[in-house]
Structure 1
């Protein structure tokens, strides 16, 4: 009997030990499964920039040559000896200022003689006029005195003009150029005294292809650059369009004017012209945010913390920014819609539908 009890006790102990071992294994297994259960991935950090608007232009490039808005070569109206040179090269002069004086002693004498003759003729005419009104002189004598007065006035005017022709004056405000004359030198009507240029406005002559003719109109904006002034852009506008197309070059001549208040430009300079045919406002994105898959162009947007891929159509590229023709607008909806946020970092790792943590960047920080 004792042996039976002992056997039963051993069986109970073994059963309890086996049960404890089984329960321990189950608990350890459950704990291990809980420890290795996958957790939700953390959102990927990305940098974003907003879509901005920029102006894009349809342009035509050409080359041109500058000239002053008014430019002439001054020559004497009559031959004579130089008595005085009244200017220095580069001087700013006003209209009417004396530039060159020829010897005019003979012309001054002729003018004095003409003034004396005129005074006599006027006195004689006034006397005949009084006699004619009083009936003491004939009409023939009156008409003779009147004709003599008219001839004296004409002679005086001719003497005055001859005297004025002995000097060269500025016909308009401008800057005088160099001269090779010297006082005492004999000159004639073919002798070049100097040049006079009105540099307040510079005119640029250039040509564009005839295919542009339907798009030309006065007042169009032109951006001018010169090798003499690297990095500077001169604002101009079209002031003249030729009515004919050159049959040899198949091009149209244009004229554009530039305000030249600081006298940076002079006549005869080489200029590069960019004629603005059309201006438009378009959304822009950084070029580095663009990805290409065959013929498709795509960008990644952030909406409510989720990455979204959008196919777009692009236009011009300027200074690292790409013009968006379509696609971005469809990523915005509602009257209070904010500009779309474009992902510009970790693009190789971001996938559509992925949770992201966006850090906005200023557009100026995107290169």
Structure 2
């Protein structure tokens, strides 16, 4: 009896399984034609954009060192005791301004003696000149008096030079650096007094590969950044191009000039340099609109209610945009959504994308 019940239960289970499979096949068979018909007839909704003109650039990056346009280590022309220091470290001074004065009492006395000798020689020469004109004195006496006058003038001029050397003057306008000197200190001609830098213009020296030589010229734009000024870009131009290529590194030295009216830069600073070789405006599209197949770059265009696949030639990339060199008309509508569901000739319903392509110009690096 127990065996009969087990057999009947097995029969019921098998019958239920067969019935379920039959009903499932009927339902799927009924749905597939409807889905196929819907997929082939209903256009796919896609979003499109038009290419935006973006500024692209070929640029080379390098590292450079800043230097003042004019810089000098100040030293005295003569030794002696400091009587006055006329500057404070960090002061801006004008050209020929007195910076340090040394004790000049002896030199002042020598100058007065030289001037007295010159006055005597001048008087003696005038007497001999008058006698010579009247015929009362010989030419030899006249020439002797004239030579004495010239020697007296030379001694006076020499005394003036020695006196001037007791004062140190700024050779050009600039900013004074740190100094440890104090008034009353005795210095020698080799004693460093301070540094003087003309910081109105900063020069930056850097090098680029020799292969760029045909593309270099004076006046090209450079952009410089410094860790001391995050987010700030300093603008400059190429002012010098070296006449020789370094045989060891195969690089060419360049020098750029940057205006520095606010004294933000100082000599010796480390700077990142970007030299702009070429700039151009080209159409740009988002990277996600591209499909790469081998060496082909493809995009989908909306032509009426049909999707068309076209080949394009691309260039640089920047900020999520790709430069289009050729193959794309300025008025083309580029499809940017549902690309994985499209093929050439697919029916579409194209709508303009609300958010446009960003057009903020930025430089793309090109080697270096």
TM-score when normalising by structure 1: 0.80
Q: CA deviation at 1:350?
A: 4.3
Q: Which moved more, 1:41-50 or 1:142-151?
A: 41-50
Query: What secondary structure sits across from 1:60 in the alignment?
Result: strand
Change (3 A) 1:365 1:266: closer
Q: CA deviation at 1:235?
A: 1.6
Q: Distance in 2 between matches of 1:73 and 1:169?
A: 12
Query: What secondary structure sits across from 1:261 in the alignment?
Result: coil
Superposed counterparts of 1:166-205, under 5 Å:
166-205=166-205
Change (3 A) 1:366 1:358: farther
What is residue 228 of structure 2 aligned with on the other side? 228
What is residue 9 of structure 2 aligned with on the other side? none
Per-residue CA deviation, residues 304-340 of structure 1 (Å, 9 max, x unaligned), is: 4543322111111011111112111xxx3xxxxx633
Q: Does residue 1:363 correspond to 2:356, yes or no?
A: yes
What is residue 93 of structure 2 aligned with on the other side? 93
Superposed counterparts of 1:1-367, under 5 Å:
44-304=44-304, 306-328=306-328, 332=329, 339-353=331-345, 354-361=347-354, 363=356
What is residue 364 of structure 2 aligned with on the other side? none
Q: CA deviation at 1:102?
A: 0.8
Backbone CA RMSD of aligned residues: 2.5
Contact kept? 1:242, 1:253, Cα under 8 Å: yes
Contact kept? 1:90, 1:177, Cα under 8 Å: yes
Change (3 A) 1:127 1:340: farther
Query: What secondary structure sits across from 2:119 in the alignment?
Result: helix
Q: Distance in 2 between matches of 1:365 and 1:233?
A: 21
Contact kept? 1:283, 1:324, Cα under 8 Å: yes
Can you give the 5+ residue segments of structure 2 that lack an aligned partner in the other structure?
1-36, 361-368
Contact kept? 1:59, 1:278, Cα under 8 Å: yes
TM-score when normalising by structure 2: 0.80
Can you give the 5+ residue segments of structure 1 that lack an aligned partner in the other structure?
1-36, 333-337
Per-residue CA deviation, residues 135-165 of structure 1 (Å, 9 max, x unaligned), is: 3332222222221121111111111111110
Q: CA deviation at 1:97?
A: 0.9
Work out which of the two has the higher radius of gyration on C-alpha atoms and give 1 or 2.
1
Per-residue CA deviation, residues 54-80 of structure 1 (Å, 9 max, x unaligned), is: 232222221111110101100001111
Q: Distance in 1 between matches of 2:243 and 2:358?
A: 49
Q: Distance in 1 between matches of 2:119 and 2:316?
A: 80
Q: Distance in 2 between matches of 1:287 and 1:179?
A: 58
Change (3 A) 1:366 1:131: closer
Equivalent pairs counted in the alignment come to 323
Query: What secondary structure sits across from 2:204 in the alignment?
Result: strand
